[in-house]
Amino acid sequence: MDGQHSEKSQSDTTADRTSSAMSQNPRAAQRQAGTRGNPEGDAPCPASHRISSPISRSMKDLSCMKVPQDPAHRDKQAHPTTILLCKSRSSQAALMPKEHKMFMEEAYNAAICFKMLRDLNGSDPLHLKYIIKKIKGMAYRAPNLVLETIHDYLVDNPEISSRHKFRLFHVLEAVIEASNSLEEAWQKSFMQLALENMTKSTELEEVYQDAASDVLLAICRHSWRMVAQHLETEVLTGVFPHRSLLYVMGILTSNEAIFNEGEKACWEEQLAQLAVKSVQFLNTDMWSKELLLALTKPDRTHQEQPPEKAFLFIYYGLILQAEDNSTTVRTHLRTLLDTSHQWPKQREGIALTIGLAAARHLDHVWAVLEQFGRSTPIKWSLHSFCLKGRVRRALTLHLCPRCGQNAEDLQWKWASSTILLSYGQMAVRAKAHILPWVDNILSRMVFYFHYSSWDETLKQSFLSAVLMLVGAVSRNEGAHSYEFSQVSELLDCLMVLMEKEPRDTLCTPTRQQTIHIISSLCKLRPPLDLEKKSQLLSTCLHSVLALPLLDVLEKHTCLFLEPPNIQTLYNKTSSALDQLLQSFIMQSPTTDELHLLLSHLYPWLASEKAQERQRAVDRSTALLRFLSHSHSLDPKEDFRRIGQLVGMLGILCQDPDRAIQQSSVEGLGHLYQLLISQTARAAPMVNAQAPKQLSPASVDGAPVWSSGDQKTAPPTPPEMTFPKDHIFQLDSSQVIKEVMKHLTKAELTDLIWTAIEGLGSASPFRVQAAADMLLTTIREHGAKLETVANLGRAIHLQLCSVCIPQAKEKALHAITLLAQNHTPELVATFLDFSVPLDSHAFCLWRALGAEQPVSRQVLAVLLAWLQERALPPGPRDGSPQPKDKPCPRSLAAMNMLHELQFAREFKKAVQEAFPQLLLALLAQLHYTLELHLPQEPHLPQEPLLPQEPHLPREPHLPQEPHLLQEPHLPREPHLPQELHLPQEPHLPQEPHLPQEPRSALEPQPGHEAPEAMPSPHSTSLEALKSLLSTTGHWQDFAHLELQGGWKLFSTIDTYPQGVSLLARAMVQNHCKQIKAVTSQLLPNLQSKEARERKVAILILTEFLYSPTLLEVLPRQAALIVLARSLRDPSPEVRVLSLQGLGNILFHPEKESLLRRQLPPFLDGFFQNNEQVVVQVMGTVSDVLHRLGAHSAAAQSLGVAINARSFFDDAGPSVTPSPRDLQERDGIRAAAMALFGDLVAAMAGKELSSLRTQVHQSMVPLFLHLKDHCPGVVTAKFTLYRCAVLLRWRLRHTLFCTLAWERGLSARHFLWTCLMTHSQEEFGIHLAQALSYLHSRHRHIKTWAALFIGYTICYHPQAVSQMVSSVDTNLLFSTFEDLKKDPEPSIRVFATRQLYFLQKVAARP
């Protein structure tokens, strides 16, 4: 409130001072002069003179009013007063001339302005703010009026307070700036006002002076030259300039908005001239001391430097630049460097001064910096001298060596930062002269980088200095003629700097600046080598792409007073990274360079973190966009090696992150344009393809969400952001297909490799996308691919890690499609990893044969490989093969032929290829016997079912039911009614029939997988067995299995017997494949391989007994074939051919001869020499076989009766010796075999007498299944043959039970079959079973007791009527003995049967 009273008195006496005011108001004097010349002028007199009294009165009235505290309320009160005043003026002026009306309005506004200027002396900040706002608003509408009022107010009130005048200066500055133009009179008047107050000392100190200086700066916007002239005059007085003058000059130098276009250079030129004129003051001690004092004066805030001080560094540098005396320059620079380096702005100012001096004194400035760098304070500040310096200073200054901190430390701690900045400023100011010095400067920068105490200050100084240096070099056109040897060392420093950046924060532009520097350095000579370039790419990419999400980055800045804008900072850093990639490709516009850049992005494109994938795909897309638009790639370059990029982007098109999807599709679109552009630049442009049907980018309308690097609104839809090219309007799958059309074979292969690698990813989406990509590529371009063998091998390796069923299915489908054109290559490749065979490899084989034509081709290729029977590597001394040695592909083909027989995809192909497979497998068996390889230990002759890998896997024949369900013996009407007991005994359960055997891939339950690999021979034999069982030839399989014929294939000597036995089974079972096999074996008779000719002749000699043979090979043709084989090089083939020529087919007269020999042979059965009897029986079997279709029906009954008589040879009435027992066992076995051969020979002929013999032989054969002699295995086969003759149902199940089933369930099933099909012989069967209770063979006796026990259970009344008391006692005795049987199930069964038998015997 100071000066308020004086203002009131002065305002009351304004009328008395009009003349003096007029003399100081140029505008008022001008108006008065105009009025005198024109009495009717618009402004005849100053407004202040005419309205002084009313204003005084109004001010007094307003001063009595209470000022409201609320600005809004104050505003509401102020307006009505003004409006009323305006209305009164308007009503008074209604009768006045127009000029008078305008005069009154102007006077009224001037009064209002005057009043507001007076109110600026208030203390209410809100009210002051309101007043200033109103004055500024008035100034925009009537700037001249406000300027005049301010001038008058200042003139009329010279004694106002400094604070009031400070506010008036601010208002005056705003009004001058708001004016479009400023009259020269006002310029001079207000400039004089500003100059008078700029140097005035008040209680406000520098703030008041700066406000006055700002008025002068506002005038500069209208006429800076006049102001500059006054400033120059003041500066060149010889006295060190006042700070306000330096303040104004600093603002003029730093603020380009003050000048119009082109005026800034004029000011700089004038400033340079001023510096030249000021050189004289360097030698003035007082002026120099004041200069140094001003430069070292502490700033109010160390973060910002006042304009006057900033200008003073520039002014000082320009003066030193203009100085001719180098000694003076050195002295001043060294004096400046000896000042404190504690504050950042001080260091920057010193560096700027040094840089300006270096523009003319480069050598001397370099010398001063070198000298200063070797000074003791600098050495102390360097990292390598820290410890030594601290100890020395501790001894000198008596400080603690551990901390060693005092003011001197802080003064010199960052001196190396000043030096670095000085080098940068030298480069900027020296311009073209700096090029020869670049390497020297770089070497010093690298030195200070490595040996200074590292902190944020040094880092920023280093970056700033390097940025200045690199910028100066880049702007110099002559830089390309220099080779800079220190660039590589500087790049190493930059990489270290990037690696030291915190990996979880982004608070400074360090990364951005560093990448910009690297981009610029890469353009210099010499060019970077590949290793250095790769290191730079890896470091920069990792530093940027591995940053956390932006949300996480923002959390690290939450405690900052002024946190940076993370989104903006990241965007600029990413943009710098894009520029780096573009810089590399511009320096070397080749596809190899592009491949190098992309190869460093590939790991990030496959990252498990979504933000890293998004950043990498954004960088890739930006690079492709740049190449597509700039056409910077050399058109002579073959645009290749992009298959991996297409694969990576194609996979990312299915990323869960929608932003990544869109960016990937856009990248593929730019890649497509780039491919088209390269093709067009290399060859004439082809007709553009018509755009395909557009598809929406998002069918489901789901919102696009990103991985966290975009904090702004969601991106606009693709159709709004992508270029207007049809490729950007397609969906991802269509884009990928379009790009694929322009890829070469090698690129397509790379694409597939990328997809295969993606199958092993841990990300489910990547696995699924990779499978889709693989399937699409092979479906579209699988026919023209190369090196599919490696692709197949890689798919197998990755398949084990694929856990997604859909992805695995698509990968296997791709193999199916690939096999359409590359079957041989894939088969050969799959063979290499199919021994041992795992489940994944087997899936590949199944996929290989998913299509019927291909499955046939696969078998053909496997058969071809099977015939490549090279010996396996390594010694053949019986030692097992090392595991690391690969098996020959022929043996692997053998293994696969075995396994594929169980695959449903190959079922039909195997059936069609049965003849070829049969002959090939038989030949392979012979080959494995020739190898003398070690074989596995022999399995038991009758292993349990789960261990039999050769069981038939085919479903049972149509006429056979699948399983035997609850076999119940049908009740016959002629049998006595069964006895109904109150409680039925527990009977054994239904036999569990053999299931289809498992593949080698599936371990049997309860059995460990064998560690040793199966031998080639066993694999071949199992393949032969499975071929018969899986192709519907189970009857042939049964013939060999029940006779133990597979043992014949175990040695080379018995091998021919095994082949003949198999062929004979096919003839006896009327196999439908005889004609096909015959057609196939005829060419084999001419084979180069003796084993194949041997197999063919063995089968042919047996097929001669089949009438079907003559449909393929007529009798005469067969003679020719056999006659030709007589000249075969192999003796075995010649012998077999000779035997074939003796067939009855070629000698019909043999039929009667053989028949006449049968009666004498039958008499030979009763010879005393058992061996003779066995041989005679074998001869009769052979005769029956040779007769073939011309069987001796007339002698069949006699043969049957005689053979049956020997079933129980050495019966219970005789007590033979062990030798006799052994011999009689042979007779019994021979008799059973003969009976079976007879039954087989009579098959198809209805002989009732023979059927009776067969029925009567069933129980003996049934019971002799448990014969103590292993040689009587023929009982199984004979029983089976009899069942075939009697046309039993469930023959396949019967065979399986006979071959492998054990226990009570099997016996119950066999009893059920017998009693079901032989009900008329019920009494005979029961009588036969009772007779066997007297057998001395425990197993047969037990078997007979079980047979009778089952019969009693199901037919108790019939048994009670037929069994005598003697037989009942014998049954009691037998079951009592069975209660002591070692087998628990027998003991349980005997106990229950004994109880049941007692119930039956007790009934009348």
The average pLDDT across 624-638 equals: 85
Q: In angstroms, how far is CA 858 from the centroid of its own chain? A: 33
> What whole-number distance in Å separates Cα of residue 885 and Cα of residue 1018?
20
Cβ pair 68, 77 in contact under 8 A = yes
Q: State the Cα–Cα distance between residues 902 and 518, nearest whole angstrom.
A: 64
Residue 318 pLDDT grade (very low, low, confident, very high; cuts 50, 70, 90):
very high
- Omega into 1212 within 30° of 0, i.e. cis? no
The pLDDT confidence band at residue 936, using thresholds 50, 70 and 90, is very low
Q: CB–CB of 1314/1320 below 8 Å?
A: no
pLDDT reported for residue 925: 92
The yes-or-no verdict on residue 152 having pLDDT over 80 is yes
Cα 42 to Cα 88, 94, 104, 142: the distances in Å are 21, 17, 11, 16
Answer with the residue of higher pLDDT: 59 or 1172. Answer: 1172
- Between these two residues, 946 and 927, which has the higher pLDDT value? 927
Asked if residues 1177 and 1229 have their Cβ atoms less than 8 Å apart, the reply is no
∠ CA 1046-1049-1051, nearest 5°, is 135
Mean pLDDT of 511-539: 94
Render pLDDT for 495-521 as a digit per residue (tens, 0 to 9): 999 999 999 999 999 999 999 999 999
Q: What is the 3-state secondary structure (H, E, C) of 140-191?
A: HHCHHHHHHHHHHHHHHCCCCCHHHHHHHHHHHHHHHHHCCCCCHHHHHHHH
Residue 979 phi/psi, 5-degree rounding, is -80, 125
Q: How far is CA 1246 from the centre of its chain?
A: 74
Token duo for residue 256: 């380009």
* Pairwise CA distance, residues 273 & 259, whole Å: 19
Is the pLDDT at 213 greater than 60? The verdict is yes
Q: Which of 116-130, 605-619, 944-958, 1331-1345 has the lowest mean pLDDT?
A: 944-958
Q: Give the whole-angstrom CA distance, residue 1018 versus residue 1045.
A: 14
What are the E-state strand segments in 435-490? none
DSSP assigned state of 991 = P
Q: How far is CA 612 from CA 542, 550, 605, 615, 658, in A?
A: 10, 12, 7, 5, 14
Least confident stretch, 684-688, 692-696, 708-712, 795-799 = 692-696
566-588 in b/e form (b: 16+ CB < 10 A) is beebbbbbbebbbbbbbbbbbeb
> In the beta sheet, which residues pair with residue 525?
483
**First CA to last CA across the chain, in angstroms?**
146
301's tokens: 């805030």
Amino acid letter, residue 1000: A
Q: HSE on the CB side for 1157, CA within 13 Å? A: 15
3-state SS, one letter per residue, for 782-832: HHHCCCHHHHHHHHHHHHCCCCCHHHHHHHHHHHHHHHHHHHHHHHHHHHH
- Of the listed ranges 31-45, 735-749, 916-930, the least confidently predicted one is 31-45
Residue 55 predicted with pLDDT over 70: no
Bin 1085: left if φ > 0, else alpha if -120 < ψ < 50, else beta: alpha
Q: Structure pTM?
A: 0.71
Q: Which amino acid is at 801?
A: S
d(CA 996, CA 1018) in angstroms, rounded, equals 19
Tell me: the pLDDT tens digits for 398-411? 344 434 445 456 77
Per residue in 675-695, pLDDT (tens digit) is 888 877 666 544 444 333 333
> How many alpha carbons lie under 13 Å from residue 235 in its C-beta half-sphere?
26
Q: What is the mean pLDDT of residues 769-780?
A: 94
Region 982-995: mean pLDDT is: 35
Residue appearing with tokens 């951005």: 512
Question: What's the Cα-to-Cα distance from 1038 to each of 379, 960, 1278, 1300, rounded to whole Å?
Answer: 100, 15, 12, 11
Phi, psi (deg, nearest 5) at residue 1252: -60, -45
Distances (CA, A) of 516 to 482, 491, 535, 568, 1306: 21, 12, 16, 16, 87
Return the pLDDT at 807.
95
pLDDT tens across 331-388, in order?
999 999 999 888 999 999 999 999 999 999 999 999 999 999 998 888 887 754 444 4
483 class by beta-carbon count within 10 Å (0-12 exposed, 13-18 middle, 19+ buried): exposed
Residue that has been written with the tokens 């000082």 in this structure: 316
Residue 262, Ramachandran bin (φ over 0: left; ψ between -120 and 50: alpha; else beta):
left
Q: What are the DSSP E strand ranges found in 1167-1220?
A: none
In angstroms, rounded to a whole number, what is the distance separating the alpha carbons of residues 1313 and 323? Answer: 129
Which tens digits make up the pLDDT trace of 1161-1202? Answer: 777 777 777 788 888 888 888 888 788 655 666 677 777 777
Higher pLDDT among residues 935 and 1227, named by residue: 1227
Quote the CA–CA distance of 185 and 172 in Å, as a whole number: 15
| Per-residue pLDDT tens over the stretch 544-582 | 999 999 999 988 888 787 889 999 999 999 999 999 999
Pairs from 549-558 (Cβ < 8 Å, separation ≥ 24): 549/611, 549/707, 549/708, 549/709, 550/708, 550/709, 550/711, 551/708, 552/504, 553/504, 553/505, 553/506, 556/504, 556/505, 556/507, 557/505, 557/507
Cα–Cα dist 575/623, whole Å: 11
Lowest mean pLDDT among 10-24, 304-318, 928-942: 10-24
pLDDT greater than 70 at residue 1376: yes
85 is written with which tokens?
């005043």
Q: Any residues with CB less than 8 A from the CB of 1191 and at least 6 apart, and which?
A: 1184, 1241, 1242, 1245
For the chain, what is the radius of gyration of the CA atoms?
57
Mean pLDDT of the chain: 78
| Mean pLDDT on 176-193 | 88
Task: Scan for tokens 């952001």, then name that residue.
Answer: 721
**Residue 491 pLDDT more than 60?**
yes
**Amino acid identity for residue 694 in this structure:** L
User: Per-residue pLDDT for 324 more than 90?
Assistant: yes
Enter the DSSP assignment of 1012.
Answer: S
Check whether 1205 has a pLDDT greater than 60: yes
Q: Supply 106's token pair.
A: 């102007």
Residue 1068, both tokens: 């006896």
pLDDT at 394 over 60: no
Q: In the prediction, which pLDDT does 182 show?
A: 87
pLDDT of residue 1271: 61
* Residue 276 C-beta-side C-alpha neighbours within 13 Å: 7
pLDDT at 1297: 80
Distance of alpha carbon 72 from its chain centroid, rounded?
Answer: 64
DSSP 1342-1361: HHHHHHHHHHHHH-HHHHHH
pLDDT digits (tens, 9 = 90+) for 272-290: 999 999 999 999 999 999 9
